[in-house]
A and B are shown apart, each in its own frame.
Chain A
Amino acid sequence: DIQMTQSPSSLSASVGDRVTITCRASQSITTYLNWYQQTPGKAPKLLIYAASSLQSGVPSRFSGSGSGTDFTLTISSLQPEDFATYYCQQSYDIPWTFGQGTKVDVK
Protein backbone atom coordinates (compact mmCIF):
# COMPACT_ATOMS: atom_id res chain seq x y z
CA ASP A 1 0.00 0.00 0.00
CA ILE A 2 1.06 3.59 -0.59
CA GLN A 3 1.72 5.32 2.73
CA MET A 4 0.57 8.92 3.15
CA THR A 5 2.23 11.03 5.84
CA GLN A 6 0.89 14.43 6.85
CA SER A 7 2.69 17.11 8.79
CA PRO A 8 2.16 18.51 11.23
CA SER A 9 -0.28 16.23 13.05
CA SER A 10 -1.75 19.28 14.69
CA LEU A 11 -1.30 23.01 14.66
CA SER A 12 -2.70 26.00 16.48
CA ALA A 13 -3.61 29.10 14.52
CA SER A 14 -5.61 32.30 14.70
CA VAL A 15 -8.30 33.68 12.45
CA GLY A 16 -6.62 35.40 9.52
CA ASP A 17 -3.49 33.24 9.63
CA ARG A 18 -2.05 31.56 6.57
CA VAL A 19 -1.99 27.81 7.20
CA THR A 20 0.01 25.22 5.30
CA ILE A 21 -0.35 21.44 5.64
CA THR A 22 1.92 19.01 3.85
CA CYS A 23 1.34 15.47 2.67
CA ARG A 24 4.03 13.10 1.49
CA ALA A 25 3.48 9.85 -0.40
CA SER A 26 5.75 6.82 -0.06
CA GLN A 27 6.06 6.69 -3.85
CA SER A 28 5.15 8.91 -6.76
CA ILE A 29 1.41 9.36 -7.18
CA THR A 30 1.68 12.02 -9.89
CA THR A 31 -1.32 14.27 -9.10
CA TYR A 32 -3.70 11.61 -7.77
CA LEU A 33 -4.05 13.47 -4.48
CA ASN A 34 -7.18 14.81 -2.82
CA TRP A 35 -7.84 16.86 0.32
CA TYR A 36 -10.80 16.59 2.69
CA GLN A 37 -11.99 18.62 5.66
CA GLN A 38 -13.77 16.99 8.60
CA THR A 39 -15.43 18.66 11.55
CA PRO A 40 -16.42 16.68 14.67
CA GLY A 41 -19.39 14.40 14.12
CA LYS A 42 -19.57 15.15 10.41
CA ALA A 43 -18.57 13.34 7.25
CA PRO A 44 -15.45 14.44 5.40
CA LYS A 45 -15.96 17.13 2.77
CA LEU A 46 -13.99 17.21 -0.47
CA LEU A 47 -11.96 20.41 -0.81
CA ILE A 48 -9.34 19.79 -3.48
CA TYR A 49 -9.08 17.03 -6.09
CA ALA A 50 -6.30 16.07 -8.47
CA ALA A 51 -3.81 17.96 -6.29
CA SER A 52 -4.87 21.48 -7.24
CA SER A 53 -8.47 21.61 -8.49
CA LEU A 54 -10.93 23.37 -6.21
CA GLN A 55 -14.15 21.45 -5.63
CA SER A 56 -17.29 23.38 -6.58
CA GLY A 57 -18.57 25.53 -3.73
CA VAL A 58 -15.32 25.50 -1.77
CA PRO A 59 -13.99 28.98 -0.88
CA SER A 60 -11.03 30.22 -2.92
CA ARG A 61 -8.93 30.67 0.23
CA PHE A 62 -8.25 26.93 -0.06
CA SER A 63 -5.61 25.88 -2.56
CA GLY A 64 -3.56 22.79 -3.28
CA SER A 65 -0.27 22.19 -5.00
CA GLY A 66 2.32 19.54 -5.65
CA SER A 67 3.00 16.46 -7.72
CA GLY A 68 4.98 13.27 -7.41
CA THR A 69 5.42 12.65 -3.70
CA ASP A 70 5.04 16.07 -2.04
CA PHE A 71 1.82 18.04 -1.74
CA THR A 72 0.55 21.09 0.10
CA LEU A 73 -2.83 22.37 1.23
CA THR A 74 -2.89 26.09 1.95
CA ILE A 75 -5.57 28.16 3.63
CA SER A 76 -4.71 31.75 2.77
CA SER A 77 -6.67 33.39 5.58
CA LEU A 78 -8.08 31.08 8.23
CA GLN A 79 -11.76 31.59 9.02
CA PRO A 80 -13.65 30.42 12.13
CA GLU A 81 -15.34 27.62 10.18
CA ASP A 82 -11.96 26.25 9.07
CA PHE A 83 -11.01 24.84 12.46
CA ALA A 84 -11.21 21.17 11.61
CA THR A 85 -9.17 18.10 10.74
CA TYR A 86 -7.75 17.81 7.23
CA TYR A 87 -6.91 14.57 5.43
CA CYS A 88 -5.04 13.87 2.23
CA GLN A 89 -5.95 10.81 0.16
CA GLN A 90 -4.20 9.12 -2.74
CA SER A 91 -6.07 7.44 -5.58
CA TYR A 92 -3.06 6.49 -7.70
CA ASP A 93 -3.41 2.88 -6.66
CA ILE A 94 -5.85 0.61 -4.92
CA PRO A 95 -6.32 0.56 -2.02
CA TRP A 96 -6.97 4.25 -1.56
CA THR A 97 -5.04 5.41 1.47
CA PHE A 98 -5.39 8.48 3.64
CA GLY A 99 -2.99 10.53 5.70
CA GLN A 100 -3.37 10.38 9.46
CA GLY A 101 -4.93 13.83 9.54
CA THR A 102 -3.92 17.32 10.64
CA LYS A 103 -6.01 18.97 13.31
CA VAL A 104 -6.20 22.76 13.10
CA ASP A 105 -7.31 24.31 16.38
CA VAL A 106 -7.55 27.72 17.96
CA LYS A 107 -4.37 29.33 19.18
Chain B
Amino acid sequence: QVQLQESGPGLVKPSQTLSLTCTVSGGSISSGGYYWSWIRQHPGKGLEWIGYIYYSGSTYYNPSLKSRVTISIDTSKNQFSVTLSSVTSADTAVYYCARVGSSGSWADYWGQGTLVTVSS
Protein backbone atom coordinates (compact mmCIF):
# COMPACT_ATOMS: atom_id res chain seq x y z
CA GLN B 1 0.00 0.00 0.00
CA VAL B 2 1.53 3.28 -1.13
CA GLN B 3 1.63 6.01 1.49
CA LEU B 4 2.62 9.65 1.11
CA GLN B 5 3.57 12.08 3.88
CA GLU B 6 4.15 15.81 3.53
CA SER B 7 6.67 17.63 5.70
CA GLY B 8 7.95 21.16 5.99
CA PRO B 9 7.47 24.45 7.83
CA GLY B 10 3.95 25.35 8.80
CA LEU B 11 4.71 29.07 8.84
CA VAL B 12 6.47 31.07 6.14
CA LYS B 13 7.05 34.82 6.06
CA PRO B 14 5.79 36.90 3.15
CA SER B 15 8.25 37.21 0.24
CA GLN B 16 10.12 34.11 1.38
CA THR B 17 10.18 30.66 -0.22
CA LEU B 18 7.86 27.84 0.77
CA SER B 19 9.48 24.38 0.66
CA LEU B 20 7.72 21.09 1.24
CA THR B 21 8.79 17.48 0.83
CA CYS B 22 6.68 14.39 0.24
CA THR B 23 8.08 11.06 1.39
CA VAL B 24 6.71 8.01 -0.39
CA SER B 25 6.60 4.60 1.28
CA GLY B 26 5.28 1.24 0.17
CA GLY B 27 6.75 1.53 -3.29
CA SER B 28 9.60 3.02 -5.27
CA ILE B 29 9.09 6.53 -6.61
CA SER B 30 11.11 5.63 -9.69
CA SER B 31 9.18 2.54 -10.73
CA GLY B 32 5.86 2.10 -12.44
CA GLY B 33 5.89 5.18 -14.61
CA TYR B 34 3.96 7.36 -12.21
CA TYR B 35 3.69 11.11 -11.93
CA TRP B 36 4.02 12.79 -8.54
CA SER B 37 1.85 15.82 -7.92
CA TRP B 38 1.28 18.75 -5.61
CA ILE B 39 -2.23 20.11 -5.10
CA ARG B 40 -3.34 22.80 -2.66
CA GLN B 41 -6.57 23.87 -1.03
CA HIS B 42 -7.10 27.36 0.30
CA PRO B 43 -8.94 27.42 3.64
CA GLY B 44 -12.57 26.56 3.11
CA LYS B 45 -12.12 26.57 -0.66
CA GLY B 46 -11.70 24.21 -3.59
CA LEU B 47 -8.69 22.42 -5.00
CA GLU B 48 -5.91 23.92 -7.11
CA TRP B 49 -3.42 21.80 -9.06
CA ILE B 50 0.14 23.09 -8.66
CA GLY B 51 1.92 20.65 -10.96
CA TYR B 52 3.52 17.25 -11.23
CA ILE B 53 6.79 15.57 -12.02
CA TYR B 54 7.32 12.35 -13.92
CA TYR B 55 9.58 9.77 -12.33
CA SER B 56 12.14 10.58 -15.04
CA GLY B 57 12.20 14.24 -13.97
CA SER B 58 9.96 15.93 -16.56
CA THR B 59 7.82 18.61 -14.98
CA TYR B 60 4.42 20.14 -15.73
CA TYR B 61 3.22 23.23 -13.90
CA ASN B 62 0.06 25.28 -13.55
CA PRO B 63 0.74 28.37 -15.70
CA SER B 64 -0.69 30.56 -12.94
CA LEU B 65 2.18 29.51 -10.66
CA LYS B 66 4.84 28.55 -13.18
CA SER B 67 7.06 31.58 -12.59
CA ARG B 68 7.32 30.80 -8.86
CA VAL B 69 7.15 27.01 -8.54
CA THR B 70 9.66 24.20 -8.87
CA ILE B 71 8.96 20.51 -8.33
CA SER B 72 11.90 18.15 -7.98
CA ILE B 73 12.43 14.47 -7.29
CA ASP B 74 15.05 12.60 -5.25
CA THR B 75 14.80 8.94 -6.14
CA SER B 76 17.56 7.99 -3.68
CA LYS B 77 15.38 9.21 -0.80
CA ASN B 78 12.05 8.23 -2.38
CA GLN B 79 10.94 11.85 -2.04
CA PHE B 80 9.71 14.67 -4.18
CA SER B 81 9.51 18.33 -3.26
CA VAL B 82 7.91 21.62 -4.13
CA THR B 83 9.27 25.13 -3.69
CA LEU B 84 7.17 28.25 -4.16
CA SER B 85 8.98 31.56 -4.16
CA SER B 86 7.86 35.08 -3.22
CA VAL B 87 4.91 33.87 -1.19
CA THR B 88 2.04 36.07 -0.08
CA SER B 89 -0.98 35.47 2.12
CA ALA B 90 -2.72 34.12 -0.98
CA ASP B 91 -0.44 31.09 -0.76
CA THR B 92 -1.81 30.11 2.65
CA ALA B 93 -3.34 26.70 2.04
CA VAL B 94 -3.29 23.02 2.84
CA TYR B 95 -0.74 21.44 0.53
CA TYR B 96 -1.25 17.84 -0.58
CA CYS B 97 1.12 15.54 -2.37
CA ALA B 98 -0.37 12.78 -4.50
CA ARG B 99 0.51 9.95 -6.84
CA VAL B 100 -0.80 10.18 -10.38
CA GLY B 101 -1.19 7.15 -12.61
CA SER B 102 0.89 6.63 -15.73
CA SER B 103 -1.86 8.18 -17.84
CA GLY B 104 -1.22 11.44 -16.03
CA SER B 105 -4.92 11.82 -15.44
CA TRP B 106 -6.01 11.10 -11.87
CA ALA B 107 -4.57 11.13 -8.36
CA ASP B 108 -5.12 7.78 -6.70
CA TYR B 109 -3.06 8.13 -3.51
CA TRP B 110 -2.83 11.30 -1.43
CA GLY B 111 -0.89 12.48 1.57
CA GLN B 112 -2.83 13.74 4.58
CA GLY B 113 -1.99 17.34 3.74
CA THR B 114 -0.06 20.01 5.58
CA LEU B 115 -1.23 23.53 6.37
CA VAL B 116 1.17 26.28 5.40
CA THR B 117 0.40 29.76 6.69
CA VAL B 118 2.07 32.80 5.18
CA SER B 119 2.33 35.48 7.83
CA SER B 120 4.88 37.79 9.36
Query: Contact residues of A with B, CB < 8 Å?
Result: 32, 34, 36, 42-46, 49-50, 55, 87, 89, 91, 94-101
Contacts and interface: CB of A to CB of B under 8 A. Distances in A.
B36 interface: no
Interface stretch (B12-20, B23-31, B46-54, B76-84): B46-54
A44 B106 contact: no
Contacts of B46: 87, 98-101
Given A89-B47, A98-B46, A98-B48, A32 B63 contact: no
Nearest to B111: A43
B96 A96 contact: no
Given A94-B60, A98-B47, A100-B46, A45 B110 contact: yes
Interface of B: 46-49, 51, 60-64, 96, 98, 101, 103-108, 110-113
Given A87-B47, A99-B46, A101-B46, A49 B106 contact: yes
Given A95-B62, A95-B64, A44 B105 contact: no
Question: What are the 3 tightest A-B residue pairs by CB atom distance, in nearest-first order?
Answer: A43-B110, A91-B105, A96-B49
A46 B47 contact: no
Contact of B106 (A91, A95, A100): A91
Given A49-B101, A98-B48, 19 more contacts: A34-B105, A34-B106, A43-B96, A43-B98, A43-B112, A44-B107, A45-B110, A49-B106, A50-B105, A87-B47, A89-B47, A89-B106, A91-B106, A95-B49, A95-B61, A95-B62, A98-B46, A98-B49, A99-B46
Nearest to B94: A43
Nearest to B113: A43
